[in-house]
Amino acid sequence: MSLMLQEITEQPVVLERTIQAEREKLAKLGTFLRNKDIDLIVLAARGSSDNACQFGRYLLEVTTGIPVSLSAPSVFTLYKAKPNLKRALVVGVSQSGEGVDINNVLETAKESGAYTLGITNEADSSMAKIADETLLIHAGREKSVAATKTYTGQMLHFYLLAAQLADEKIAFEKIPHFAAQVLQLKSKVEELVERYVFMENCVVVGRGMNYGNSYELALKLMETCYVVAERFSSADFFHGPLAIVERRFPVLMFAPTGVTRQSNLDLLKRLQELHADSLAITNDEEIAKLSSRTIEMPKDVDEFLSPIPFIIPAQLFAALLSKAKGIDADAPRSLSKVTKTL
């Protein structure tokens, strides 16, 4: 078994361990932040961590009403901007905690008056030393170059943070159980990948809470399978990119039941007309019927809690497709585990 596959299977335990280990710290942090009158949240990250932030942006804005911005690190590192962040919470997200540009954002934000928070898997990292407070992912060492358990750990921390800042309860305690359930889909995914061994190009679609997942699966397909993968929301896909679709062109979709359902149905109907190949990760019966192929998810996973359980079969798909293509998912060409950019 590859390291990537091994680490995918560790996720239910990592998620539960992280909840238990960080719960008390988060309760104190929540009390502090609620008294601080935060009116802006800024998220800074690169790579898979940035995809987790795409999710965090939706989650935090929907649940707290506070505007959330995805930082462009180059604004800080290359252009030396110093925005006024006196009433902002600035969150740096990095698996290793050693992303030079992300840490630079945190340092500049502190100088500009922000309260800074780090989300990382490494307690002794540079990020942990810089940030005012650090939320740890209790994943153990992640050895695979392709991030899996730290990606879902980062997403979990956005749930935990939102639960402290939002007025309504968030049932994040269910997520480790859902993660364990969907790992049972491995044999189904293994059968599916045989149909995609010769795939060289595809589109990945996800909207709303699963928009970040569309970026993450596309990244996994590019780095572990060398597939050119574009990513879009189902709404944006109608604004031009649909023109690339032709007969048998593969479109992979995150399509939970919920408020994004209708736009996914509209897209699937159009894809049928174009005779495209659609693979939907879904728990909606009508979406499943319209799709060429499906990975059927548990019915009781609502859209709000779907991003973590829905990315797990997608991770399995990338890892198993890599194996089927004869590519070592643990050693993608030209890549290393820690990437430092400015």
- pLDDT for 137 beyond 80: yes
Q: What is the pLDDT of residue 336?
A: 53
More confident residue, 18 or 342: 18
- pLDDT for 173 beyond 80: yes
Q: What is the pLDDT of residue 277?
A: 94
Mean residue pLDDT of the chain comes to 93
Q: What is the pLDDT of residue 237?
A: 72
Q: Which of 5-14, 88-97, 235-244, 298-307 is predicted least confidently?
A: 235-244
Q: What is the pLDDT of residue 339?
A: 56
**Overall average pLDDT of the 31-39 stretch:** 94
Distances (CA, A) of 81 to 75, 77, 105: 6, 8, 10
Q: What is the pLDDT of residue 235?
A: 78
User: d(Cα 156, Cα 153) in Å, to the nearest integer?
Assistant: 5
**Overall average pLDDT of the 12-21 stretch:** 98
Q: 104: which 2 tokens?
A: 């630079």
Q: Which of 94-103, 135-144, 284-293, 333-342 is predicted least confidently?
A: 333-342
Percent of the chain with pLDDT over 70: 96
pTM (whole model) above 0.85: yes
Question: Of 220, 289, 227, 219, which is closest to residue 255 (Cα–Cα)?
Answer: 289
H/E stretch holding 267 reads: helix 261-273
- pLDDT for 241 beyond 80: no
Q: Which of 13-17, 39-43, 97-101, 243-247 is predicted least confidently?
A: 243-247
- pLDDT for 42 beyond 90: yes
Query: Residues 157, 168: contact at Cβ < 8 Å?
Result: no
Q: Which domains does the chain have, with CATH numbers?
A: 3-170 (3.40.50.10490), 176-324 (3.40.50.10490)
Residue 309's pLDDT band (boundaries 50, 70, 90)? very high
- pLDDT for 338 beyond 60: no
- pLDDT for 337 beyond 70: no
Burial class (CB in 10 A: 0-12, 13-18, 19+), 302: middle
Residue 137: which residues within 8 A CB-CB, separation 6 or more? 14, 18, 95, 119, 120, 121, 149, 150, 153, 154, 156, 157
Residue 341's pLDDT band (boundaries 50, 70, 90)? low
More confident residue, 183 or 244: 183
What are the pLDDT digits (tens) for 139-163?
999 999 899 999 999 999 999 999 9
Q: What is the pLDDT of residue 334?
A: 60
Q: CA-based diameter of the chain, in Å?
A: 56
